[in-house]
Structure 1
Amino acid sequence: MESARQRFAGGMRVGAGLAAAGFVLAITFGATAREQGWSALAAIVASTLIFSGSAQFALLAALAGSGGIGPAIGAALLINGRFLPMGLAVGPSLSGGRFRRALQGQAVVDGSWVAAHLGGGRFDRWRLFGATIVQWPAWVAGTVLGVVGAPSSDLVERLGLDVVFPAFFLAVLLDELRSSHGSLRSARAPLLAAAIGAGVAAALLWWVPAGVALLGATVGALVGLRARVPAARDTTERVRG
């Protein structure tokens, strides 16, 4: 068994790669925010407190479309709503009372959540902490660089920085699919869930904004929940036997 320090260090190693991608993405956020008239302080504070690329870009898109602050905040809250089930899943793996567990839950971000997943609904909290602790400063630093340097949107497109965000989530998805194990049925479930999610998102994009389409894609997760029921029953029967 690895010690807590070793697991924390392992999380930092995983987080370093995620931090590199996040740093580049944060540059585009800072530059785009400045281009849309945000003050440097507003952009940096947003990255410091929100620390969510999807929510921050949703804010940018909503405000750029003259939707007003209300719809902009609503879009960000809808997208960040994914952290509620993610936090509930991690909760049993955290330690301490409610307040302490709530503080530890602030480490739940997409890449760290996947990196800390052990399977069977279990998470390594030290790996989660290690993966997140290197991503937050990289995200803030990238925003600062984007605000100060403010590369033009043409440069962002030429360097391909505008596709870093979807590429990041694709890498997270592929890593989760690669780590799937168990019976043939359980191995197929993540693939089916991903296919359903992609199909739903692609269909919804014809009628709703990208953020809402992304939320709709989460129905693919129902496949995973359905696949866990037979597995839980099998485990119960083996214990009784």
Structure 2
Amino acid sequence: MRTAYRTGDARLLRDIAAIGAAMLAVGASFGAVAVAAGLPAWATLAMSALVYAGGAQFMAVGLVAAGSPLAAVLAGLLLNARHLPFGLALGGALGSRRGQRLLGSHLMTDETTAFALARPAGPGRHRAFWLAGVLLFLAWNAGTALGVLAGGAVGDPAALGLDAAFPAGLAALLLPSLRDRETRRVALTGAGLAVLATPLLPAGLPVLLALAALVPLLLRRHRPPTTPTGPDPAPGSDGAGPAGTGGGPHGDRAGRGARAGDVPC
């Protein structure tokens, strides 16, 4: 059993390290972009530590540089609204104490959630969430510090192809969950809605619209069970009726005798 745990943890750490390497590079890119956009170094580092939301941070830096700080806040809140269903899905994986839940909600990201949900509920999911949460948080903030120090020497992550590492990693983590037919149907429906809405809606809204794929599933689960309304069974049909109708020690013979013209018993 201990060997299985060690093997599982080693595999988990390997997968986290692969995503963490990409996060380190993208965090460095964020630090460089933020400083180049005129954000002070301390504000850039504080944003990565206190906000800790990669996509929202890039969007906020662009909007602040354009002179729209209020729009940056609203856009960040909208983009990170997807964490509400994440919290519901993770449940007790964050821990039972209030302090654990508060810290865990701060460490919750797409990648951390995927690592946790790839494990069955219980201690394994709890351990996966916290390992991924802490290590990826450190990787992102270390990358931001490197980007601040390097300035403009760090390139655009999209030009380097690093932006594809996160969706590829998430897809690999979520593939085991798609073995369930109902989960697969919901996931494909949500993905289709997001793809169709991407050219029409601002960034962040297509992901939220994908949650509409859960509505039919929730309606089916909350539908009250239906009971048959047919006629009541005839007396004795269940073997408890009077003799001659299927009940009693001679009921079956009595029925056969009456049909054959014999006298029962």
When normalised by structure 1's length, the TM-score is 0.75
| Structure 1 residue 119, shift from structure 2 partner | 6.3
CA distance, structure 1, for counterparts of residue 24 and residue 94 of structure 2? 28
Q: Are 2:182 and 1:165 equivalent residues in the alignment? A: no
Residue number in structure 2 paired with 1:95: 95
Give the length in aligned residue pairs. Answer: 221
After superposition, the C-alpha distances for 1:77-116 in whole angstroms (9 at most, x for unaligned) are: 1111111221122223343333443334433222121111
Are the aligned partners of 1:12 and 1:132 in contact in 2 as well (CA < 8 Å)? no
Deviation at 1:8, TM superposition (A): 6.1
Do residues 78 (structure 1) and 78 (structure 2) align?
Answer: yes
| Structure (1 or 2) with the larger CA radius of gyration | 2
Distance 1:100 1:156, change over 3 A: closer
Give the unaligned 5+ runs of structure 2: 226-265
Kindly indicate whether residue 174 of structure 2 is the aligned counterpart of residue 176 of structure 1: yes
Pick closer, same or farther for the CA change 1:208–1:180 going to 2, 3 Å. Answer: closer
Identity percentage of aligned residues: 30
**C-alpha offsets along residues 42-98 of structure 1, whole Å, 9 cap, x if unaligned?**
1111111111112112212333444x1111101111111111221122223343333
Note the 1:1-241 alignment, pairs <5 A: 6=6, 11-66=12-67, 68-118=68-118, 124-151=125-152, 155-156=155-156, 160-161=159-160, 163-182=161-180, 185-186=181-182, 189-190=183-184, 192-222=185-215, 225=217, 229=221
Q: Give the aligned residue type for 2:170.
A: V
Contact 2:52 2:106 in 1 (8 A): no
* Whole-angstrom CA distance in 1 between matches of 2:206 and 2:178: 25
Taking the aligned partners of 1:140 and 1:37, their CA distance within structure 2 comes to: 19
Q: Distance in 1 between matches of 2:102 and 2:212?
A: 26
Looking at structure 1, the residues matched to 220 and 170 of structure 2 have their Cα atoms a distance apart, in angstroms, of: 21
**2:44, 2:24 → 1: CA distance?**
14
Q: For the Cα contact (< 8 Å) 1:197–1:218, is it kept in 2?
A: yes
Letter of the 1:77 partner, please give it. L
Amino acid aligned to 2:76: A
User: Secondary structure at the residue paired with 1:124?
Assistant: helix
Cα RMSD over matched residues?
3.3
The amino acid that maps onto 1:142 is G
Q: CA deviation at 1:171?
A: 2.5
